[in-house]
Chains A and B, each alone.
Chain A
């Protein structure tokens, strides 16, 4: 099967899950055990995630014909925005998110929209792979002429095939559903593609109790001019 058809299948699988969840949540309106307001909150959260995923796929296609606009960008506000958006999902799934940012603001050379999606997909992956009552971590740290955004989860180790692809710099295609139960790796695929468009490098570190995913962005020299 060619890569594009395989990609469509994986995307269809990923997008079917939120639709199936929404369908079940719609049935919950009949149950008196849960206030409608809570059900609506869940439905909005599931829809938001699905819409973002579709938008990422559309962006991916658009990037094939035009390069993204890059500019010096403060990394922390982007991370904060992603954290705010995923706060509900972390709380709902009983995961904690530990945040560690350096005192001094770091400027990276990046595209805001794409960087948001990279961090979003890393954190979404962490929600999925971190165990109940456990924590995930997001850190920003300067490394030489780069700025690293790292997301660490505490869950099952990363499959070797995905890790090898990350070591090569980026994921070539979404991992086949059959090979990796629980996730198609679409989020990681999107994150690695977007990073490549920003001339950034993604990578992963395998731990015995989870995985760290990171993106190394070019550091903007703008601040040093002052």
Chain B
């Protein structure tokens, strides 16, 4: 199972389609965090700027538990994180919303799922 978290539902659905397989879409971090209690996702694609608690609040939550800290996270965002090492937050990649392609999303899925 893959989680896609984005408050832009259309964007989230496009990313979900690119992932293929079993995907759950969430509009905010709170709902996604609650869903993690029901079962760990194999990986997460997430926007950094979300309505309510933002992506970094979610990342902090994920790295604070031994099981969730291992979930690979890919940020798909407008924000720029040039030269920033986000691996300690479990972030395995950052994709720009402006240039991301379904092939790039699928490449991450093939690598981590």
Contact = CB atoms under 8 A, between A and B. Distances in A.
Contacts of B1: none
Contacts of A17: 8, 78, 97
B105 to A, nearest CB: 10
A28 B42 CA distance: 24
Interface string A101-133: 000000000000000000000000000110110
Interface in B1-29: 7-11, 14-15, 17-18, 27-28
Nearest to A13: B78
Interface in A1-52: 13, 16-17, 20-21, 23-25, 27-28, 30-31, 33-34, 42, 46
A226 interface: no
A220 interface: no
B2 to A, nearest CB: 16
Contact of B51 (A23, A31, A156): A156
Contacts of B43: none
Interface in B69-113: 78, 97-98, 100-102
B17 to A, nearest CB: 5
Contact of A27 (B14, B28, B50, B52): B14
Interface of A, helix, strand, loop or mixed by DSSP: helix
B31 interface: yes
Contact of B49 (A27, A132, A182): A182
Contacts of B7: 128, 182
A155 interface: yes
B18 A27 contact: yes
Interface residues of B, number: 24
Given A92-B9, A93-B9, A181 B54 contact: yes
A155 B10 contact: no
B8 A132 contact: no
Contacts of B31: 132
B8 A16 contact: no
Contact of A25 (B14, B28, B48): B14
A6 to B, nearest CB: 17
A26 to B, nearest CB: 9
A176 interface: no
B27 A131 contact: yes
Interface of A: 13, 16-17, 20-21, 23-25, 27-28, 30-31, 33-34, 42, 46, 92-93, 128-129, 131-132, 155-156, 177, 181-183
12 contacts: A13-B78, A16-B97, A27-B14, A27-B102, A31-B17, A92-B9, A131-B27, A131-B28, A181-B51, A182-B50, A182-B52, A182-B54
